[in-house]
Structure 1
Amino acid sequence: MEKRIQFQFNGRYEVLGTASEQVEELWFVCHGHGQLAKYFIRKFESIAQPNRLIVAPEGLFRYYLQGFSGRVGATWMTKEDRVNDIDNYITYLSAVYHEVRSGLPKDIKTTFLGFSQGAATISRLATMTDLEFDRLVLWAGIFPPDLPPLKSTDRLKDKQCFLIYGLQDEFLTDARIQEQESIARQIKVTPESISFEGKHELSDQILQQLAAKPYRHQ
């Protein structure tokens, strides 16, 4: 017979920049499957500047990428006990968000960005909580099919949404893109699509282009 227990859990996250009253923009970024936050956050160094704080939480589950030793990666969830894992990481991400926001101006502009598996993670954070943000970026990933339709529509109706992908991305097949479009229609969202010559990766050029875009209510 399965039983469950609640206990305090210690998670970690990485920060690029310094929290202060001078920060005008927060980027909350979630890595993909098999990555670690300390390496993922380095990919945002090209857009780092004094008035922009970048925060990269790390998936709660770490494992050896090959065999029983060597490089380690993290993941947000698997198919096993997925609902409980989703609840856990939303609780964790919300705690990170509140801790970071407590040291920042109240009127700060906020970007939620998820790469690959992190796209589903950040989508759930955006639509299953009441956390404040201004734009949602799905990079090399799509909306998960289990988003709450009515709340998702309400939460995203005034937000800027972007879908970014490499034209040679081996994971974003035509079927996956069609699935994305179907889910987007269900939650009444039309993301702005941005593509680039590249594979399943972040692009400095596109990051800089995205960072230069004005917020809708700026």
Structure 2
Amino acid sequence: MKKSISYQYQAQYSVSHEPTFQEKEIWLVLHGYGQLAEFFLRKFQGFDSPDRLFVAPEATNYGYLDGFSGRVGANWMTKHERETAIRNNHRFLDLLMGELLSQYLERPKINVLGFSQGAATATRWGSRWIGEVNLLVLWAGGFAQDMILEDAREKFSKTKFTLVLGDQDEFITPESIEIQHQLIKNLGKAVKKLTFSGGHEIDIEMLSRILDSNE
């Protein structure tokens, strides 16, 4: 007979600078499968400023990337105990953002970028988070297929969406594009679609365009 127990757990996150709590915008950036937050954040470090804080939470499921030693990566979930992992992700992100925002006298603009597996995690979490997301960028990934559309329509009513894909991304298939097309149609929201020349990666030039256009 399988049972479960709840206990206090310590999770990690990285920030682009020590928060002053005077920033005008926060970018919550969620890494992809097999990555670590501190290295993922390096892609955004060049865009850090006194008015812009990047926050990169690290998924709490870890594993060796090759065999039984060497480099370690984190993932937001696997098929094993998937629903439990999703609930844990939500609690982690709720607590992180709640504690961070509680220290601001003037609430900053909240933008979220999810890369690869982090994109689906971002949509699941954002569609039920108590706060409001200004811009949601889904990079090399898309909306979670199990996202509750009724909740998402209401929660994302004022949220802007941007979908970014590399034209040589080996993980993007015609089938996955069609699934996302249908999800977007069912969501009933306009989505800005951007394409860059490259693969399954964060393209710095494209990232700069997105950040500059959101200022």
Shorter-chain TM range is over 0.9
Greater Cα shift, 97-106 or 116-125: 97-106
Alignment correspondent of 1:187: 187
5+ residue gaps in structure 2?
none
- State the one-letter code of the partner of 1:86: I
* 1:45 Cα deviation after fit: 1.6
Which structure 1 residue ranges, 5 or more long, are not aligned? Answer: none
Shift of 1:21: 3.9
Q: Structure 2-normalised TM-score? A: 0.96
Question: For residues 10 and 64 of structure 2, what CA distance do their matches in structure 1 show?
Answer: 20
Distance in 1 (alpha carbons) for counterparts of 2:65 and 2:46 = 27
* TM score, norm. by length of structure 1: 0.95
Q: Residue 102 of structure 1: CA displacement? A: 2.2
Which residue is 1:22 aligned to?
22
Pairing 1:1-218 to 2, within 5 Å after superposition: 1-214=1-214
Q: What one-letter code is carried by the residue in structure 1 that aligns with 2:56?
A: A
Q: Which whole-Å deviations, capped at 9, do the CAs of 1:82-128 have from their partners, x for residues lacking one?
A: 11110011001111111221233433111111000000011111102
3-state DSSP of counterpart to 2:85: helix
Which shifted more, 112-121 or 45-54? Answer: 45-54
The runs of at least 4 consecutive aligned structure 1 residues that moved more than 6 Å come to: none
Partner of 1:128, secondary structure, is coil
User: Percent same amino acid among aligned pairs?
Assistant: 38
User: Within 1, Cα distance between the matches of 2:180 and 2:163?
Assistant: 9
CA distance in 2, matches of 1:191, 1:108: 23
Q: 1:126-184 CA distances to partner (integer Å, 9 max, x unpaired)? A: 10222222111100001111111111011112111000011111111111111111111
RMSD: 1.2
Q: Is the 8 A contact 1:32 1:75 kept in 2?
A: yes
Partner SS for 2:44:
helix
Whole-Å Cα distance in 2 between the matches of residues 118 and 72 of structure 1? 17
Quote the Cα distance in structure 2 between the aligned partners of 1:189 and 1:145. 16
Number of residues of Structure 1 aligned to a counterpart in Structure 2: 215
